[in-house]
Amino acid sequence: MHSQGFERLIKKMDEIAGKTDEKIIMQIGSTKYKPKNAEYFDYIEDHKKIQELNRKARVVVCHGGAGVIITASAQKSSVIAVPRLKKYDEHINDHQLELVNALEKKGKISVVYDIDQLESALRNSILKTNKEADEEKTLVRELREYLRKIDN
């Protein structure tokens, strides 16, 4: 478990939660700030519960650590990573920057480098998720119509 909190991310997500009807659930770890506008918990030891939360989420916002990104991605979640940075004393070095840069270049995740851009990144990710869901529904509907025609 990580002993450092991530005040910057938790505060920004709580601010965003206060402006949306979207259900937001946060794992805050050892962050001292307690969200006022979202559900939260410190840690969940049960990996299956974390997988379930990731699976149900339209978008997972996380720090730039490999474990959390792998868990979210394995559940087919849309991932926005905000790397912990040494300059804010969030980590001992900036290794998370290297990881998120590489994954972003491969199109695997979205990355927010400036916390003030998180709200617009979330909005864009939700719009993209909605569009993909609509396209999937359209494809399913078209396939059903085609199969009905073949059956008749």
Average pLDDT for 40-65: 92
**What does the DSSP 8-state code read for residue 94?**
-
Interatomic CA distance for residues 152 and 150, integer angstroms: 6
Average pLDDT, the chain: 87
Structural domains in the chain, CATH included, are 7-151 (3.40.50.2000)
What is the pLDDT, as a whole number, of residue 2?
44
Burial of 7: CB neighbours in 10 Å, binned 0-12, 13-18, 19+: middle
pLDDT tens track for 2-15: 456 799 999 999 99
Q: What is the pTM of this model?
A: 0.80
